[in-house]
């Protein structure tokens, strides 16, 4: 009996060993690390996607302008197929583990981004913390460019979306994990930064955002509105505020932002009562102007800020999108039998009541 058991175990071990494949690990020098990827829409119905990959080429030189990259592109019927076909154009294994930036072209973002985003979220070697943006007008042309100050392959573009380098109140950062949630969450719509490039200086410009419904872009915000939306959504501690009093210009630095709102439902309709508190310092103003009319200046700036926020919220409301998530709050407070059918009418009829309180912490001047 024991002999039969031993022979059975030996036979099983031999069969299991025969099924084992060789080691799938490939050394670093046999891999191409993707540092940026662009997806554009073509006019070819049979091959509607244009995939552009930017590979980082290792180099011992790390000075500015010494980074080396290789760009490959292909037109394909599907994104997954295109990536597989690109393997036939390079001599190393394609690895997305270090790809931190994905750009979608204008043509794709104005059509439907869902398939592209779902492919990213399903692929196992793409990080959920990768930054997503819209490359305008053609995403592939954006990632092809190589700024003269770039030290590491693809690093310049990635630094715009990280907290390791520049932090601008005009730059919106959207990650794959949040975009995936916004595409499927009821009462919360996607928002993506727009990446443009200056052809003369070869520098990136990221100071606009695109607001999307669950599929495509429906509204683009200019830099002023982009900064204002960032202040409301992320309570930025480093941003600016511009205003005037009796035709005198004022530039104000915002140190702290606090925003909260309530959704109130009554017989007249639904109101959103928003309260905003700003702690500020005057950066530019006429000499001693604040000391002559401190209360009047503060009150006028508060009124101007409230009007700007109300105008922005009404513009977003008119476009029928909800990047802040009023619908999500409404779902939590009021029960709807069919949210998709009832919410659009409720959202369009909402009234915004915005009140701003400004606390002046410094004027930069001594009286």
* Segment 308-345, tens digit of pLDDT: 999 999 999 999 999 999 999 999 998 888 999 999 99
Describe the chain by its helix, strand, coil percentages, rounded to 5: 35, 35, 35
**Residue 108, φ and ψ in degrees, nearest 5:** -75, -45
Residue 320: the pLDDT is 95
The domain boundary, picked from 221, 244, 259, lies at 221
Same domain, 157 and 298: no
The two tokens of residue 149 are: 């100050």
CA distance 117 to 208: 20
Residue 53: the pLDDT is 93
Q: Is the pLDDT of residue 28 over 70?
A: no
Flag whether 20 is in a domain. no
Q: Is the pLDDT of residue 65 over 60?
A: no
CA distance 36 to 131: 10
Same domain, 85 and 197: yes
Q: Is the pLDDT of residue 275 over 60?
A: yes
Residue 22: the pLDDT is 46
The confidence band for 23, taking pLDDT boundaries of 50, 70 and 90, is very low
Same domain, 105 and 47: yes
Residue 150: the pLDDT is 72
Residue 146: the pLDDT is 80
Count the neighbouring beta carbons within 10 Å of the beta carbon of residue 87.
Answer: 13
Write out the residue range of the structural domain in which residue 91 sits: 28-221
For residue 361, the domain's CATH number is 3.30.300.210
Flag whether 5 is in a domain. no
The domain boundary, picked from 201, 221, 241, lies at 221
Strand 101-105 relative to strand 31-41, pairing: parallel
**237 vs 204, which has greater pLDDT?**
204
Q: Is the pLDDT of residue 349 over 80?
A: yes
Flag whether 70 is in a domain. yes
Same domain, 216 and 228: no
Region 114-124: mean pLDDT is 92
Q: 101-105, 242-246, 297-301, 351-355: which range is least confident on average?
A: 242-246
Region 127-147: mean pLDDT is 90
Region 268-277: mean pLDDT is 91
Flag whether 17 is in a domain. no
Same domain, 226 and 256: yes
Angle (deg, nearest 10), helices 339-348 and 326-333: 120
With a pLDDT cut of 70, the percent of the chain lying above it is 86
Residue 366: the pLDDT is 44
Decide: helix, strand or coil at residue 218.
strand
The confidence band for 367, taking pLDDT boundaries of 50, 70 and 90, is very low
Handedness of CA 188, 253, 207, 357 (dihedral sign): positive
Flag whether 332 is in a domain. yes
Same domain, 96 and 181: yes
Flag whether 102 is in a domain. yes
Mean pLDDT of the chain: 85
Same domain, 104 and 207: yes
Flag whether 109 is in a domain. yes
Q: Is the pLDDT of residue 273 over 80?
A: yes
**60 vs 72, which has greater pLDDT?**
72
Same domain, 76 and 216: yes
Same domain, 241 and 319: yes
Residue 21: the pLDDT is 47
**Residue 147, φ and ψ in degrees, nearest 5:** -60, 150
Same domain, 239 and 125: no
The domain boundary, picked from 221, 244, 267, lies at 221
The two tokens of residue 67 are: 């980074």
CA distance 122 to 99: 15
CA neighbor of 228 nearest in space, from 159, 293, 274: 274
What are the angstrom distances between the C-alpha of 103 and each of 89, 116, 174? 21, 10, 11
What are the angstrom distances between the C-alpha of 272 and each of 23, 260, 277, 350? 60, 10, 16, 7
Number of domains comprising the chain: 2
Same domain, 283 and 340: yes
Region 119-123: mean pLDDT is 92
Same domain, 167 and 235: no
Helices marked H in the chain = 2-19, 79-86, 106-109, 114-122, 139-144, 155-160, 176-184, 223-234, 289-292, 294-319, 326-333, 339-348
CA distance 72 to 149: 22
């Amino acid at each position: 009996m024991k002999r039969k058991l031993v022979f059975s175990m030996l036979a099983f071990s031999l069969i299991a060993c025969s099924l084992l494949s060789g080691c799938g690990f490939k050394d670093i020098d046999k891999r191409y690390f993707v540092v940026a990827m662009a997806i554009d829409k073509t006019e070819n119905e049979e091959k509607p996607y244009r995939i552009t990959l930017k590979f980082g080429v290792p180099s011992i030189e790390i000075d500015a302008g010494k980074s080396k990259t290789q760009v490959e592109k292909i037109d394909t019927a599907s994104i997954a197929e295109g990536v597989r076909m690109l393997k036939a154009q390079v001599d190393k294994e394609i690895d997305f583990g270090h790809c931190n930036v994905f750009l979608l072209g204008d043509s794709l973002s104005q059509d439907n981004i869902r398939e592209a985003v779902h492919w990213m979220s399903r692929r196992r070697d793409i990080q959920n913390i990768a930054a997503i943006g819209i490359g305008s007008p053609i995403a592939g042309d954006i990632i092809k460019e190589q700024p003269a100050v770039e030290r590491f392959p693809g690093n310049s573009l990635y630094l715009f979306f990280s907290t390791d380098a520049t932090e601008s109140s005009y730059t919106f950062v959207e990650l794959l994990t949040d975009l995936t949630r916004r595409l499927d969450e009821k009462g919360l719509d996607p928002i993506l930064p727009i990446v443009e490039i200056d052809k003369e200086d070869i520098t990136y410009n990221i100071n606009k955002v695109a607001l999307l419904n669950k599929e495509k872009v429906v509204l683009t915000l200019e830099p002023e509105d982009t900064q204002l939306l960032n202040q409301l959504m992320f309570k930025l501690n480093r941003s600016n505020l511009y205003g005037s009093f009796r035709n005198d210009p004022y530039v104000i630095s915002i140190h702290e932002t606090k925003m909260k709102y309530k959704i109130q439902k009554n017989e007249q309709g639904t109101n959103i009562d928003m309260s905003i508190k700003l702690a500020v310092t005057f950066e530019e103003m006429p000499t001693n102007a604040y000391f002559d009319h401190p209360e009047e200046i503060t009150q006028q700036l508060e009124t101007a800020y409230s009007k700007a926020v109300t105008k922005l919220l009404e513009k977003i409301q008119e476009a029928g999108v909800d990047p802040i998530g009023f619908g999500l709050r409404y779902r939590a407070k009021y029960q709807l039998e069919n949210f998709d059918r009832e919410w659009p009418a409720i959202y369009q009829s909402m009234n915004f009541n915005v009140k701003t309180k400004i606390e002046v912490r410094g004027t930069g001047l001594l009286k």
